[in-house]
């Protein structure tokens, strides 16, 4: 089976929903964390919160998909308010994913962050909350966050965003198999068929 490049951002409920299905699909996934808002700015796209009608639709639609998949979905309102106000960006979470990938802790990190934002809300807005989240997941929180906060990893994230835009990524979740691109959790059947 061909490797599937998975471009995602923890800000995206559709990315959360898609990754809940990977285990049952038997995919070989190459995780590509990005900050979608940064990539969308490069490719001249607009995120859902910029369009109230699209945002309202997404809130209803993600609920339908969560019910279809049989997975929890509960918006972390404290995180959302901080994000919407500009008090919190998604860059620390994406850098954390890059650090966790390098250190070999990615599966646990990935699960903890997605669940804290989209399934079982927890404090991810404060540094203390982010440390507690990873510690409760039995991960070396200090090591991961320390590496994620280095200038090197800020630059790595910028490079990842540039590479994503160059590859044609315009939002998340996006799956790339060979030369084919698929957008959205509702394209997973196509992703599996093409990867096979």
The CATH number of the domain holding residue 143 is: 3.40.30.10
Residue 50 is predicted with a pLDDT of 66
Residue 77 is predicted with a pLDDT of 96
Which strand (E) or helix (H) includes residue 7? strand 3-8
Residues 124/126/132/134 CA torsion (nearest 10 deg): 50
Residue 48 is predicted with a pLDDT of 65
Residue keyed to tokens 């929180």: 141
Question: 26 lies in which domain range?
Answer: 3-195
Residue 45 is predicted with a pLDDT of 76
pLDDT tens by residue, 79-129: 999 999 999 999 999 999 999 999 999 999 999 999 999 999 999 999 999
What order do you get walking across the sheet with 174-177 strand by strand?
28-33, 3-8, 174-177, 180-183
pLDDT under 50 in the chain at which residues? none
For the chain, the domain total comes to 1
Residue 49 is predicted with a pLDDT of 64
How many angstroms from the chain centroid is the CA of residue 84? 17
86 Rama class: left (phi>0) / alpha (psi -120 to 50) / beta: left
Residue keyed to tokens 């279809």: 68
Q: What is the pTM of this model?
A: 0.95
Q: For residues 23 and 27, give the distance between their C-alpha atoms in angstroms, rounded to a whole number.
A: 7
Residue 62 is predicted with a pLDDT of 96
Residue 10 is predicted with a pLDDT of 98
């Amino acid at each position: 089976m061909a490797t599937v490049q998975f471009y995602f951002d923890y800000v995206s409920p559709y990315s959360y929903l898609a990754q809940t299905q990977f285990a049952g699909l038997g995919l070989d996934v190459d995780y590509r964390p990005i900050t979608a808002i940064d990539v969308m700015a490069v490719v001249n796209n607009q995120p859902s919160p910029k369009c109230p009608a699209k945002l309202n639709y997404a809130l209803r639609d993600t609920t339908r998909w969560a019910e279809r998949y049989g997975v929890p979905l509960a918006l972390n309102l404290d995180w959302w308010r901080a994000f919407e106000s500009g008090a919190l960006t998604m860059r620390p979470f994406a850098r954390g994913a890059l650090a966790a990938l390098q250190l070999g802790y990615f599966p646990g990190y990935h699960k903890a962050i997605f669940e804290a934002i989209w399934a079982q809300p927890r404090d991810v807005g404060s540094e203390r909350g982010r440390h507690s989240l990873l510690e409760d997941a039995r991960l070396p929180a200090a090591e991961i966050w320390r590496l994620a906060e280095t200038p090197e990893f800020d630059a790595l994230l910028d490079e990842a965003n540039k590479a994503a835009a160059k590859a044609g990524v315009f939002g998340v979740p996006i799956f790339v198999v060979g030369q084919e691109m698929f957008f959205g959790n509702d394209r997973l059947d196509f992703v599996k068929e093409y990867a096979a």
